[in-house]
Each structure stands twice: as structure tokens, then as C-alpha cells.
């Protein structure tokens, strides 16, 4: 991430150095001694910073603040305002004039503007009047201009073949052209970045969901639970206990729920509650008299849908960490449904962890991620460990299905 950032900064700096290099190249025609003098001209810096400012102002304020929020009219108006600003500021023309003035002072005779050179014209080779395009020479008599002024007859260089003193007001079209280019480039860059970001987020969300599902499947078909339960059912069969078929059905229901339903985004709340019931019934085969289970499911749970295995994860944790064969303890589980959604509560005694390193909290982290993903701003999860009790409260805002 940091690497990408550094890379971006370097690209930007390189881009701007290139941009700042162009006027030096064109205005002075590559004469290195005058390059430095150009650097001393304040209008050079005005020119550069005007465009740098415009670029970032557009990219980091206008685009994310207005354009991407679909405030196109406001965005358009502000761009028009900036356009007008550049129209009046004429950064390019000022730069040009001030370098001419600067160089004029240095070289004595009227300065040869860069445009002569740009057009491939060499001063000595052509007498003044014979030039096909009367470019800057007509300015020479005016001498240097004061900042902010521009001569009425000044014309954009390439548009200048007409009469020198045209009635049309002067337009610094190069400045405006650069303006449009800068705005277009920064807009394009920002919008492409935005696209990439949206794309990445979509991919990330998809991957998060897949990994959550996968780890849930893995966690849910907990081999320890599965094989112990199978052993219990095996024992029931060996001792010809009547509970054997029933227990097989319960395990089968859990497995079906975990393998089938859990791949859906949302399932009926009743299915999740059935799974919890079956799970607790199978756990009762394993628990002795030391553990008491209080379970209370009430209120309106019909017509509600929930992301599968969210509640099951907490239930499973209760049985994983809240059981002792040595000390009496109570496990409480409550699920209420009302018109706003579902409230879930579970509490178990915390027994000193026999195997600290095994408890990694991956299940909990995963559940938090899933809640963020599936119930953004619509869930409230509080977990506290006061008084040696592990208490989970989860409130989900869910609308009833029609």
C-alpha cells in the first residue's frame, strides 16, 4: 500500500516536472543560459502553480465532492468559473510576455520570441517584414507590459495571421487550451481510479463473503462435535436405546442445514432456531447433571429471515467454553422476535481456559465481519466478560417478510 502510494507520488512529481519543463523548452528554444532566467520570472511560477492548483482542485475537491455525487450542474458551473478565471488571468500569455521582456533586457535588441523558433524561423534568415506570419513583432514597440494588462490587439499566436489590430478582444487560447487539458486529464484519472476502487470493493466484498462462508462451514462441521456425536449415537445403537433414531435425525438436520441452507444469503429465522434446538438436544446427550440449560424463544419469529449460522456461532461457543464437568453452571439462551427485528442473548460461565492457545477468536472475528457485511448499521453486538460470565447480546434490525 505504502509502495503504491510512493509510486503515485513519484509519477505526479515526474509529470509536473515535465509540464514545468515545456515552457522552458519552448519559450527559450532550448538555450540553456536563458532557462535559468525564465525560472526567475514570477509569471513562470504563476503559470505552473495555476495549473497545478487546477489539477488538484479538480481531482481532489471537485470530482469527489461534486461530480461523483452527481452534482453535475454545480460542477459544471464551477469549472466554467475557473475557465473564466483562466481567461482573465492568461497565465501563458503573461509568461510569454514577461520572458520576452526579460530576454529583451538581456539581449538588447528586440527579443525574438520563441514562436519564431517554434515555427522553424530563424531571425537572421528572414528580414522582419517578410515573415509570413506577423507574430510578436508588433508588440515590440509597446515595450514590456505591466502585469495584468494586455494589449488590445494581441492575438493568440497561431491564430494570428489576420490583421494585427483586430477588433476582436484578445483571447489567450493556449492558456484556455491547457486549462481544458488539465481539467480533462485530472477528471479522467480520478474517474478511472474511482472505477477501479468500485471494482476492487466489489471483488473484496465477494471474497469476504466466500471466506466467511467457507470458514463457517469448516467451523460448523466441527470434527470434535461430529465424531463425539457419532460416538454417542453409536453407543445408543449398541445399547439399543430408543433415542438412537431420533438423534440420527437431529444430526442429519444439522448437517443438511449447514451444507444446504447455509450457502444462501438469508434463511427463515425458524430454520436457524430449529438448528439451534437440534444442536442443543444433541449436546444434552453429552452433558451431565452439572450443566443446566435455560432456553427461551419467544415473540414473533415467523416471517423473519436471517443470515444463516450467525446465532449458531455464539451457541457453539457457549458449549465449547461454558461447560464444566466439575463445577455446576447455567447456560442461558434467549431469542426474542418483535416488529423491529431480533434480539439474541446468551450467557455462560467462563471456565479457566484449559488450552489457551487454541482459542484464537477467528470465529468471532468472522462473525463480526459477516455482520458488518450483511447488516451494515443494522446490528448491535455487545460482548462482555464481567463477573466470570461471558455474555453476548446481539440486536438485528430485520423487517418482516410479506
Partner 1 sequence: MMKLKCIAIDDEPLALKLISRYVHQFPELQMVQTFEDAISGAEYLKQGTTDLLFIDINMPDITGIDLVRSLEKKPIIIFITAYKNFAYEGFELEALDYILKPIDAKRFAKAVEKAIDYYKYKNAGPGEKLDNSLYVYSEYRMVKISLDDIEYIESMEDYIKIHVNNGKTILTLMPLKKVLEKLPVGKFQRIHRSFIVAVDKIKSIHNRKVQLADAELPVSESYMDFVRKWMKFK
Q: Residues in the site for partner 1, rule: CB under 8 A?
A: 223-224, 226-228, 230-236, 238-239, 285-286, 288, 290, 323-327, 351, 354-355
Q: Helix crossing, 173-220 with 243-259: angle to 10°?
A: 170
User: Which of 298/324 has CB closer to partner 1?
Assistant: 324
Torsion of CA 397, 373, 273, 396, to 10 degrees: -20
Least Å distance, CB 235 to partner 1, is: 4
Least Å distance, CB 348 to partner 1, is: 11
User: Which of 208/241 has CB closer to partner 1?
Assistant: 241
Least Å distance, CB 221 to partner 1, is: 12
Q: Cβ-count burial of 197 within 10 angstroms (0-12 exposed, 13-18 middle, 19+ buried)?
A: exposed
Least Å distance, CB 186 to partner 1, is: 57
User: Which of 286/334 has CB closer to partner 1?
Assistant: 286
Residues 270 and 302: beta-carbon distance below 8 Å = yes
Q: Which residue has the cell 450467525?
A: 310
User: Which of 92/225 has CB closer to partner 1?
Assistant: 225
Half-sphere exposure in the Cβ direction for 257 (13 Å, CA): 26
Least Å distance, CB 387 to partner 1, is: 20
Residues 340 and 196: beta-carbon distance below 8 Å = no
Q: Which residues contact 14 (CB under 8 A, 6 or more apart)?
A: none
User: Which of 306/346 has CB closer to partner 1?
Assistant: 346
User: Which of 223/376 has CB closer to partner 1?
Assistant: 223
Least Å distance, CB 323 to partner 1, is: 5
3-state SS assignment for residue 390: strand
- What whole-number distance in Å separates Cα of residue 19 and Cα of residue 24? 10
Amino acid at each position: 500500500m505504502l509502495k503504491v502510494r510512493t509510486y503515485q507520488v513519484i509519477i505526479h512529481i515526474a509529470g509536473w516536472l515535465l509540464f514545468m519543463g515545456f515552457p522552458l523548452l519552448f519559450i527559450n528554444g532550448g538555450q540553456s543560459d536563458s532557462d535559468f532566467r525564465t525560472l526567475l520570472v514570477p509569471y513562470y511560477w504563476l503559470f505552473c502553480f495555476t495549473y497545478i492548483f487546477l489539477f488538484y482542485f479538480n481531482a481532489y475537491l471537485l470530482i469527489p465532492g461534486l461530480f461523483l455525487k452527481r452534482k453535475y450542474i454545480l460542477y459544471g458551473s464551477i469549472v466554467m468559473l475557473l475557465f473564466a478565471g483562466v481567461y482573465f488571468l492568461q497565465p501563458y500569455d503573461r509568461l510569454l510576455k514577461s520572458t520576452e521582456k526579460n530576454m529583451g533586457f538581456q539581449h538588447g535588441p528586440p527579443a525574438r520570441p520563441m514562436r519564431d523558433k517554434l515555427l522553424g524561423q530563424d531571425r537572421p534568415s528572414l528580414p522582419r517584414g517578410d515573415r509570413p506570419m506577423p507574430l510578436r513583432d508588433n508588440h515590440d514597440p509597446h515595450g514590456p507590459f505591466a502585469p495584468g494588462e494586455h494589449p488590445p490587439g494581441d492575438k493568440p499566436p497561431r491564430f494570428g495571421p489576420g490583421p494585427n489590430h483586430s477588433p476582436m478582444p484578445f483571447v489567450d487560447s493556449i492558456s484556455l487550451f491547457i486549462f481544458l487539458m488539465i481539467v480533462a486529464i485530472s477528471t479522467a484519472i480520478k474517474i478511472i481510479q474511482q472505477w477501479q476502487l468500485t471494482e476492487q470493493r466489489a471483488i473484496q466484498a465477494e471474497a469476504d463473503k466466500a471466506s466467511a462462508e467457507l470458514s463457517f462451514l469448516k467451523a460448523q462441521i466441527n470434527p470434535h462435535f461430529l465424531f463425539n456425536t457419532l460416538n454417542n449415537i453409536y453407543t445408543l445403537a449398541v445399547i439399543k436405546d430408543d433415542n438412537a433414531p431420533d438423534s440420527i435425525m437431529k444430526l442429519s438436520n444439522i448437517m443438511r442445514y449447514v451444507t444446504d441452507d447455509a450457502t444462501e444469503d438469508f434463511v427463515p429465522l425458524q430454520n436457524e432456531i430449529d438448528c439451534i434446538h437440534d444442536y442443543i438436544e444433541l449436546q444434552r446427550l453429552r452433558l451431565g447433571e452439572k450443566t443446566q440449560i435455560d432456553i427461551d424463544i419467544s415473540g414473533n419469529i415467523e416471517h423473519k429471515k436471517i443470515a444463516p449460522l450467525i446465532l449458531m456461532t455464539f451457541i457453539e461457543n457457549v458449549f465449547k467454553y461454558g461447560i464444566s464437568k466439575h463445577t455446576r453452571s447455567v447456560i442461558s439462551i434467549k431469542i426474542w422476535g418483535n416488529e423491529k427485528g431480533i434480539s439474541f442473548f446468551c450467557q455462560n460461565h467462563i471456565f479457566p481456559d484449559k488450552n489457551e492457545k487454541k482459542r484464537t477468536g477467528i470465529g468471532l472475528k468472522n462473525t463480526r465481519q459477516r455482520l458488518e457485511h450483511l447488516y451494515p448499521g443494522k446490528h448491535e453486538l455487545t460482548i462482555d466478560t464481567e463477573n466470570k460470565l461471558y455474555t453476548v447480546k446481539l440486536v438485528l434490525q430485520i423487517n418482516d417478510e410479506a
